[in-house]
Structure 1
Amino acid sequence: MKVQCLKGFRDYLPGEMLQKERMLASVREVFEQHGYPPLMTPALEYAEVLTGKYGDEGEMLLYRFRDNGDRDVALRYDLTVPLARVLAEHGDIGMPFRRYQIAPVWRAEKPARGRFREFMQCDVDLIGVDTAAADAEMLVIGAAVMKRFGIESYRLRINHRGLLTALCRLVGLEGEAESDFLRILDKLDKIGEEKFRSEVSAISGLDASGLDRVLEVVLCELQEPREVISHITAVLGEDDQAREAIDRMSAILDIVEASGIASVCQIDPSIARGLSYYTGLVYETFLDDLPQVGSVMSGGRYNDLVGMFSGKDLPAIGISLGIDRLFYALGELDLLSGEQQPAKVLVVQFSEELASASFAAAAKLRQSGVDTLVYPKDAKVKKQLQYAQKSGIPFVIVIGEEESRSGTVQFRDMDAGSQEEISLESAIEKITGGQKSS
């Protein structure tokens, strides 16, 4: 038997997983600072909850089977449909409802480089409110995540589906033709302007003047958000839906300016978001220094989705972080911690007779808030130091026979290459900078 992972799945070894968990801990802190608590839903749902929600293609990608109780079940495909089920099942949940969820999802698609059948999704959503303030709050949270990661050069590219619908109406694109246009627009960054022009011009029912009008809006080269709004108003301002969208965008800009994030927000009429359920604000986030990575954070308003089971009118706005893309980008930008081991201190086990002294010292270190491991056997000290070096552990404590008698320790700073004999209390002060855990 060849022992290996299922195709399309992968292991995350401790070094990589530690860095990813540190990254996710930062995300959780940002979400909770903005008043969003976590939600957890089961990996398995009744199949009828998930079927019919993702279109024909999505239906084919469900991991669906009958369990030991002969129930028709499926692994969750995303985090949004389970959220809709939660809102219907727990009807006493107060509104507005905030939540974030970070959890794996499963899709039986063809594996490819960077694409797996099991992957992590990270969503934050605000349910029950349809206001510019709610829309802007998502942008504020997104900017806070980028700031926490230390990413400074990026753009939150913003649009409104109402503007795109009005544009299609203006040039006579309806039904399937409108869907074709939005599908082509959604891949503009991938296919480039020339191919975009070619594919859009081939849409049935779009004449030359209509094509010019479309390109005038979606390929607008203005950068200053208020100038872009003025440009769009000049083209679409007579349309009631467009006017409503323009007013909403202006109100959002007021709030992001007051929140101090206007410099990273860009109104981009080419942003479409391919999913048909978006009804208002849409946005994607791109890194200036790594454009090839694509969007690392995206989302928008989807007012007609999460009320699907309850039958209630539940407007919603949310953000989804591309965890794997962000993790890769942080590595490329040298913004990941270099930790391969959570411990800050290795306590050497000098001999079996002194094992108790080593564990007693480790207990005091942990009580002071210092993550500590004890080497599991009395190997040569050189070998234990090599282990600390390889594992990235910055400090080592050695308690030999002389140190045990004198009540001291040998304290080694691995980065500095220095070693001194001091009390354990002094070593703790050096490690913590005098900031002991309460």
Structure 2
Amino acid sequence: MLSAFTDFIWGFPMIILFVVAGIFLTIRLGFLPFRYFPHIVKMTLGQIGKKTTGSAGGISPFAAFTSALSATAGATNIVGVPVAIAFGGPGALFWMWVVAFIGLSTIFAELVLGITYREKNKEGKWVGGPFYYLSKGLRWDKLGWFYAFGLMLEVVPSVMVQSNSVSVQLENEYNISLLAVGVLLAIVTAFIVFGGIDRIGKISSRLLPIFVLTYVGLTLTIICINIERLPGVLSLIISDAFTPTSAVGVFAGATVVQTMRWGLARGLYTSEAGMGTSSIAYASADTDQPVRQSFWGMIAVIIDTLVICSLTGLTVLITDVWKEVGVKKAASMVSYAMKTTLPDWLSSLSISVFLVFFVLATVGVIIFYGESQAELLFGRKMRYFMRFVYLAAIVVGAIGGLKFVWELLDLLLFFIVVPNIIGIVCLSGVVKKAKDEYIKEFVK
């Protein structure tokens, strides 16, 4: 029943909602991501290392960016892409690209709103996100409450997905107990989350760039070694995006709707464009310029989906492991792909280390998202109660079934994406005004 329902809602209903909303925002913002791309890069990547000033009570803009990127550059990049290909075929990667391009304007809008309507908590730190702009901006208190409650629950299967990804990899490669992996992950995560967003920001800003660049280097190596097959793989991705994928090897085939469903859902989860969750992290930034800080959100989508996820998908497809590795072992496809070129021990160790770090960075941020919603709705005691629920979910997820956990995640994603998209579309005038004022003042 769960499978049937998630397949339905992530078919045409969510495809239409997300694509229409994304196109609407892209047009209303005057094709901002494309017309001003050089300026966006200059004000983000071009400013790395420079000291910034802003209002007190927040973390640095770059730390906010890496914290939010940590939530997206996680297991979805290494595991979620192969899972999408395993269930939707090669064409799923194309629909992930579509989500990314449309999502550039979507994530910009929700970040601007998150910073615009943020406020300081009792500790003097900035807090914001969809709850605030739905309640204060749109003045729909019930919709804000519904979103916050949905996100509080969605974090449970989200951390389960992350821990399951690591435990399956370590069991396959090193025969380590699933339960042991879950317990160890929960202990390390507890150390991270009890330090709050400040500790999360410091850890991610130092380590995330190193791991991302290393992973990009390894996948590029595999692709370059098999470069003669790249044109055929790109052709396969495009053709399978619009035609049913034939069964081949252990792959059972997929309809066009299945391909779109898995590509859309995984693309949305990995970029977070439309979910609203990134605005919670960015709202904590020490900045007084919402538009400039929101440019980092676009860069995050480009790095996460158009770079890292694309390299993962191409690595899996160019080595043909998607035809040879069964659905039950989809989480280990990248490891199998690397073994076709690199020594087995190096491939196993590399993917295991990447997964462990990415997952730890990710669960730290998404637990922060969930517990902050719990505190908003039910007070500080509920924050700590949910923190322990999330830590327990890490252990349970480590021994859970892959497809069931992903589908439970998709179900709860639906309940937070819908109110968030309604909110950012209705408040798009606020975003347009902020963007127009910024362009007039800062863009020559």
- Structure ranking higher in helix proportion: 2
Alignment TM class, shorter chain as reference = under 0.3
- The structure showing larger relative contact order (alpha-carbon pairs under 8 Å, at least 6 residues apart) is 2
Q: 1 or 2, which has the higher strand percentage?
A: 1
TM-score (ref. length: structure 2):
0.23
Q: TM-score, normalised by structure 1?
A: 0.23
